[in-house]
Chain A
Amino acid sequence: MSSGEDTVLSVPSLTDEATAADPLAPDRLDAITYRLIALGFILLTLTIITGAAWAQYTWHKWWSWDPKETSALVAWLVYLVYLHGRLLGWRKPLVAWIAVLGAFGVVFCYAGVNFLGGMHSYGATTQNVLEGARHAFTGMQTTEAGLAMAFLACYLAGFMLYLATAVFSGVLSVGRPTESSPPVRNRRLVSVLLLLPGALPTLAGFILHTIALVYRSVLIYHATHAVHLPFSSGYEYAACFAWAMALVFLILQLRIPTPVLGAAAMPFILLVLAYGFLWFGNKGVEGLPPALQNRFWLHLHVAIAIVSYAALIIATATSAIYLVRSMAAMDARARWILVAWVLASGGIAVLGVGVAAVVSVVTGNVAAGVHVLGGSLFGAVGGFIVSQMVTEARRR
C-alpha cells in the first residue's frame, strides 16, 4: 500500500451502472450497509455527546451511568466492533451479522430503558398488549386519531404489497442479471413497475404521518403554549422514530429500487409504531416535564437520536438481505448447518409460544404469558444471531 488514498473507513461511492445491473448484489448491499452504519454511528456518537451536554445542563452531571446512557454506549460499542472488524478484514457475512446484532443494541437503547426505569423512562405504560389495543388511540383528538389510523393502514398495505411483489418477482432473483436477461432499459421498467404497488401506499403513509406529526405539534402549542416538536411522550417519540425510519427507507429505496428492501425494512417501522400505540396508554398532549424543557437540547438530541437509530435499523434490513443473498454462495454442508440452526431457533420460539399459552391459561395471567413469549422469541432470535456469528468466525 503506497498511499492512504483508499482507506476502508472513508465511505465508498456507489456507481449507477451497478444499480441497473443488480441492485441487490452482495458487495453493493455491503457497501450500502456500511454507508448507513457510518452515518448512524457518527449520529449515535453525537447523540451520546448531545445527551451528555444536555445532562450537564439539566442534571448537572454529564454522565451518571443512567440506563439510557449506558444502553446507548452498548449500541455504540457493538458498532465499534463492526467498524474495527471491517478494519481487520473480517469476512463480510460476519460483520453483517454484527450489524444485525447492533439492531438489538439500538432496540435496547430505544425501548429497553422503558422496562428498566431510570431518568429516561416514559411513564403511563399499559403493561399488556390486550389492554394496549383497547387504548391504542385513547386521549387522541378525533382528527389526529383519524390521521394515525390512515397512516398505519397505508404502511401496513405498503408492507403487504412489498412482500407480495417481492414474492411474486421470484423473491430475490429479479434484477439479478442472467444470460436471458432483458436489456437494461426493460429491466429498469420492470423493477419500477414491481416497486410501485408497495411504494405508493408507503409514500402516502409517510405524507400522512408527516401531517399527523405537524398537527400534533399544533395541538401541543394549543394545549401548552410551547412551540416544540412532538418529542415529549413515549408515544410521540415512537411516532417520530418510525417517521425517521420511513424517511431513511424511502431515500434508500431510490438507491435500491426493489420491493425486497420494503419487505425487509417495513416490519421495523410497523413494530416501532405498534410499540408506540400499544405500549403507551394515554396519548393525550402533555406539557414538557421540567427536565425536558430546554428546547434547544431537546430538539438537537432527540432529532439526532432518531435519525441515528433509523439509519442503524435500516442498515439491519440491508444486512439481512445481504445475508440471505450471500447464502447463495454457501456449500451444501454450510446450508445444512444453517437449516439446523433455523430449526433449533424456530423450535425454541414454538416452545415459547406453547409455554406462554400454558402459563396464560394456568395462571389466568395473560401478561405473564406475553412475557414468556417475548423472552423466548428474544432468546431464539438472539441465540440464532450469535450462533451464526460464531459459525462465521470459525469459518475465517
Chain B
Amino acid sequence: MAKDTAVGRPNDVEEGPGSLSGALWGFLQSVRTTIYVLPLLAIATTIGAIIPQKRPVGFYDMAYRPALSRLITGLGLDSIYTSTWFIILIGLLLLNLAACVGRSFGRAARRYRGPAPQALARKLTGARAGGCWQARSSLPGLGDKVAQTFRRAHYAVAEHEGAKERSWLLVRRWPSAHFASLITHLAIFLVALGAVLGCLPWTSLDRELMIVEGQTHRDEDGKLGFDVRLDDFRMDRYEATNAPRDYRSEVALLVNGREVKRGTATVNSQVKYRGVALGQANWGLVGVLVSVTDKEGRKETVPFALAEAATADGSTAWVLEDAQRGVALAGRRAGLMAVDFEADAVEDQGRIIGSASQYPWQPAVALQLVTGVDTGKHQFHDLGWVRMGEQKSVEGYTVRFDDLVYRSTLSARRDPGLPFVWAGFILVSLGMIVTFYVRPRAFLIEVADGSEGREAQVRVAPAGREVNEADRGIIEAACGARLSPLAPRRARR
C-alpha cells in the first residue's frame, strides 16, 4: 500500500555522512519530528487548559496547596503560552513544517505534471499489464473522439505521438489536488503570521478601557489615537427569565476634544474608528445617585459609591463601599446616609430581604436622613428602602433614588494579522477537504485507429493500481464498446 503523500515521507531523508548539518536537516524535515512535537504541544496545552493562566500570584496560593502553588509558579505553568519552551516548541513545529513543505514541493509539482507517457505505455506490455484495460471499436476517428469526451468532462488531456502509428492521450483528473496537502500545511504559516502580527506591540493594540458613565478615557500614550467618552450604559434582560439579554455602551470618540464619532458598542457589535474596534467586554456598578429637595425647592444630588463583593457561593454582589458614611447636604443643616443596597431586591412580606441576582433589575437603597447636623443634635429619620425612581418625604425633605452609575469595560483592539488568519483558515479548510476527498487520477489511453477493415483498438494504463470506474465509463461511452481487462490481474487481498 502506498504510504506517501505530498507532504512528508518518513524514511527518505538523505543524511550527510556524519555531518551535523545533515543530521539537523534530516531531523527538521522528518515527519517523525512532527509526531514527537505534537504530543508535547498537546500535553503543554492540556496543562494550560487545566491551570488558570496569567492570574495574580496570590490566586495560585489560594487555589492550590502551597507546594503545588510553588511548583506551578516556579515552573512557569501559570503562563505556559508565553513561556520560552512553549514558543520554542511552536517554532520547532513551524521549522519542521517548512522543511517538509519545501521537500514536498518538487514531488507535488512532478505529480501535477503527471507521469511520462512512455512509462505508462510500458505497463501495457507483458506481465506488467495488471490494472490495464482494452476495447475494440469500429468507430472512425476514435482518438479525437475520446480526447474530446474527456475534455468536455473537464479532464486535462495531453496528446502525444505514440509508437507504431498509435496516439497516446495522457488524461488527468484533478491534477491540482496534488498541491492540496501542501497548501493545507502552508496555510498554517499564514495563521501563524497573522497571530504574530496580532501580538506585536508596534503593530497591534489589545487593551481594556474601564470607563465610568459620563467620564472620558484619555489616550495617554497616543496608541489609541482618540479619547473615549462613555455617555450611557444600559442592560437589557429577558422578561421571562431575568437573564441579561445585552449590554450597550453609548460612546463618543474625541480627537483633540472634538467629537469625531458616536456609536453604540454591544456584545455583538463594535464601534470602529481608524482600525481600532471598540467592543463591549464587561460592566459594573460604581454608584447610586440620590437627589434631595428641601422645603425651599433646592435640589441636590448625592452620590454613594458601590463596590463589588463576592458572595458565599462565589457569585458577585454589589454593596455600598462605606455603609456608615453620611453626606452633608448644602447648608450643612442635614445629611443623608445610605445604609444598605440591593441590586435585584427580593421582597418577602413587604420587606426587602436580599438580591435575586447581581443584575440591577430592581435596585433599592436603604436611606436615613439626618437632621440637626448644624446644631449638633443629630436626629435620624429612617426612610427605609427606596426603589429606583421612587421618592419619600420626611421633615420637609423629599428624597428620590434617581439613578445608578455604571462602569463599562470596552475592549479596544487593532489586529493587522486578521486578514492572514482568515486567509489561512480558509486555505486550511479547503486544502484539508481536497486532501481527504478529492483523489487526483492520471492514466494513459493508447489508441490505434482502425484502417482497411481493421477495428480500432483502445488500451488504458493507470498511473496507480486501477483505472477508476467512472473514467472507464467515459472511455466506454466514447468508444461505444465495453472495456475488458488487458491481462489477468494479480490476486489482490
Taking Cβ atoms with an 8 Å cutoff, the residues of A that contact B are 1-11, 27, 38, 41-42, 45-46, 49, 52-53, 56-63, 65, 67, 70-71, 73-74, 77-78, 80-81, 84-85, 87-89, 105, 108, 112-113, 116-117, 223-224, 284-287, 289-291, 293-294
Contact = CB atoms under 8 A, between A and B. Distances in A.
B411 A60 contact: yes
A8 B45 CA distance: 28
A5 B429 contact: no
Contacts of A8: 1-5
Contact of A5 (B34, B49, B270, B465): B465
Contacts of B81: 65
Interface stretch (B213-221, B243-251, B385-393): B243-251
Contacts of A84: 8, 31, 34-35, 38
Q: What are the 10 tightest A-B residue pairs by CB atom distance, in nearest-first order?
A: A5-B464, A3-B463, A287-B238, A290-B267, A60-B279, A77-B42, A4-B111, A70-B49, A67-B49, A49-B425
B363 interface: no
Contacts of B178: 4
B39 interface: yes
B437 A10 contact: yes
A65 B53 contact: yes
B472 interface: no
A219 B448 CA distance: 71
Given A77-B42, A88-B32, 10 more contacts: A10-B438, A41-B432, A60-B281, A60-B411, A74-B49, A77-B38, A77-B39, A112-B49, A116-B50, A286-B238
Contacts of B8: 84, 87
B72 interface: no
B255 interface: no
A61 B206 contact: yes
Contacts of A113: 49
A78 B42 contact: yes
16 contacts: A4-B5, A4-B6, A5-B463, A7-B6, A8-B4, A42-B432, A49-B428, A52-B421, A60-B270, A70-B45, A74-B42, A87-B4, A87-B8, A87-B31, A88-B10, A289-B243
Interface residues of B, number: 75
Interface in B188-215: 195, 198, 206
A41 B46 CA distance: 19
Contacts of B1: 6, 8
A89 B3 CA distance: 7
B477 interface: no
A88 B49 contact: no
B435 interface: yes
Looking at chain A's contact residues, is the secondary structure mostly helix, strand, loop, or mixed?
helix
B314 to A, nearest CB: 10
A33 to B, nearest CB: 14
A293 B267 contact: yes
B10 A4 contact: no
Interface string B421-463: 1100100110011011111111000000000000000000011
Contacts of A45: 428-429, 432
Contacts of B435: 9-10
A291 B418 contact: no
Contact of A2 (B108, B279, B463): B463
B119 interface: yes
B67 interface: no
Contact of B413 (A27, A60, A67, A73): A60
B256 interface: no
Contact of A1 (B2, B32, B49, B267): B2
Contact of B439 (A10, A60, A74, A291): A10
A1 to B, nearest CB: 6
Interface in B9-59: 10, 31-32, 34-35, 38-39, 41-42, 45-46, 48-50, 52-53
